[in-house]
A and B are shown apart, each in its own frame.
Chain A
Amino acid sequence: MSSARNLQDGTSMNCAEFQEKLPELFESGANVSQEEHVQGCETCSALVRDLEYIAAQAKLLLPIHDPSPVVWDNIQSAIRSDHGADSKTAVHSGKRT
């Protein structure tokens, strides 16, 4: 059994192959922890467990802070300045903006 052989002889070859496929496995939605290699390889099993855990924990990092009210004040002010500049440009160039 190839996965068992991985553990016995300590080769990283199959681990390398598995880890190369890992991004696609995750994206495919497959149950990665049920993959044959993972079942017989403690290293890759821990890796998969950690990566799944990190992805799950990331969902807890949703936005929780708002910008201060001064940001909106500044946006209004900058828009007003833009419009002022546009008016001046129109006067100087003789064109409508």
Chain B
Amino acid sequence: MNLALKTKSDNPLTENAKRGIFKTGGLRMNARPTEEQKPIQHMRRNPPIAGEAEAIAKAQAGDGHSFEILYSLHKRRVYSLCLRMLGNVAEAEDLTQEAFLQLYRKIGTFRGDSAFSTWLHRLAVNVVLMHLRKKGLPQVSLEETLEPSQDDGPRKDIGERDLVLSGSIDRVALERAVENLPPGYRLVFVLHDVEGYEHNEIADMLSCSIGNSKSQLHKARMKLRDLLRSGQRKEESIA
């Protein structure tokens, strides 16, 4: 489905919309967030979110305000996933928009077989992967990154000067290293180590086996270690 993502410039708002309220095909939507954003520590491992179940049920029945609540509850995680995978604010916002539009269109099909955030994340992951494939990035294919590579063998750095990372990397360095991971590795690393999803949930999101998810995660961590160590060496050679 090709959604025409509107940009700031081609999105004239009505007077009602400017005031935050308008009616859309029977949906009354309020642009002003109604709930405080959840603290960071509440965003891991699919904790129960107060009011979410009711908002889902009402949104499925076509209630725009409830859909807005769902947006407020999940926008940060979806956006962060998009931002980490794209590394670009404008593209991340476009994909966040598309993910929630797909949510709006598909929310009636949510049956509660998995946590809502997992279901929404799967939807967002698909939006991101489709976008990356359209951009023609060859390493986006999960199948490709699941194949054995030169990274898979035992470490051959025996005898090399030991650069222990512990205590020596900061958040910025790690963020930068994550950005440089191949997208397939990056996706599993972000979903598991950053966002706290379990391998069975990731396998469900990515339509791969649990073993593949574990394998991808391990390769991602190994690759990150290499990236961080090479960054350390560069810093040392400059100093």
Give the interface SS of chain A, mostly helix, strand, loop or mixed. Answer: helix
Residue B97, interface by CB 8 Å = yes
Say yes or no: A10-B40 contact (C-beta < 8 A), given A54-B225, A60-B171, A73-B11.
no
In the bound complex, CA of A43 to CA of B195 (Å): 29
Return A2 CB to nearest CB of chain B, in Å.
16
Query: Which A residues are in CB contact (< 8 Å) with B236?
Result: none
Pick the residue among A51, A58, A59, A72 that contacts B31 (CB under 8 A).
Answer: A72
In the bound complex, CA of A19 to CA of B219 (Å): 11
Say yes or no: A72-B71 contact (C-beta < 8 A), given A57-B169, A65-B80.
yes
In the bound complex, CA of A50 to CA of B13 (Å): 51
Query: Which B residues are in CB contact (< 8 Å) with A24?
Result: 214
Query: Which B residues are in CB contact (< 8 Å) with A47?
Result: 155, 225
Residue B197, interface by CB 8 Å = no
Contact B166 A49 (CB under 8 A): yes
Contact A74 B97 (CB under 8 A): yes
Residue B47, interface by CB 8 Å = no
Pick the residue among B11, B68, B162 that contacts A70 (CB under 8 A).
Answer: B11
Residue B217, interface by CB 8 Å = yes
Contact B97 A75 (CB under 8 A): yes
Q: Which B-chain residue is minimally distant from A20 (CB atoms)?
A: B154
Return B47 CB to nearest CB of chain A, in Å.
13
Interface flags, B5-47, vs A, CB<8A=1, else 0: 1111001010001000010111101010000010010011000
The bracket for how many chain A residues form the interface is 35 or more
Return B218 CB to nearest CB of chain A, in Å.
4
The bracket for how many chain B residues form the interface is 35 or more
Contact A42 B169 (CB under 8 A): no
Residue B49, interface by CB 8 Å = no
Contact B31 A73 (CB under 8 A): yes
Contact A83 B101 (CB under 8 A): no
Interface flags, A54-97, vs B, CB<8A=1, else 0: 11011111111111111111111111111110110000000000
Pick the residue among B29, B158, B215 that contacts A43 (CB under 8 A).
Answer: B158
Return A97 CB to nearest CB of chain B, in Å.
10
Q: Which B-chain residue is minimally distant from A42 (CB atoms)?
A: B162
Query: Which A residues are in CB contact (< 8 Å) with B25?
Result: 79-80, 82-84, 86-87
Return A60 CB to nearest CB of chain B, in Å.
5
Residue A4, interface by CB 8 Å = no
Residue B130, interface by CB 8 Å = no
Contact B221 A63 (CB under 8 A): no
Pick the residue among A49, A67, A74 that contacts B79 (CB under 8 A).
Answer: A67
B residues contacting A by CB (< 8 A) are 3-8, 11, 13, 17, 22, 24-27, 29, 31, 37, 40, 43-44, 68, 71, 75-77, 79-81, 83, 92-93, 96-97, 100-101, 104-105, 153-159, 162, 164-167, 169, 171, 174-175, 178, 189-190, 193-196, 199, 214-215, 217-218, 221-222, 224-225, 228-229
Can you list 11 A-B contacts with CB-CB less than 8 angstroms, sorted by A residue number?
A: A15-B154, A15-B158, A23-B217, A53-B169, A58-B194, A70-B8, A71-B75, A71-B96, A74-B11, A79-B25, A82-B105
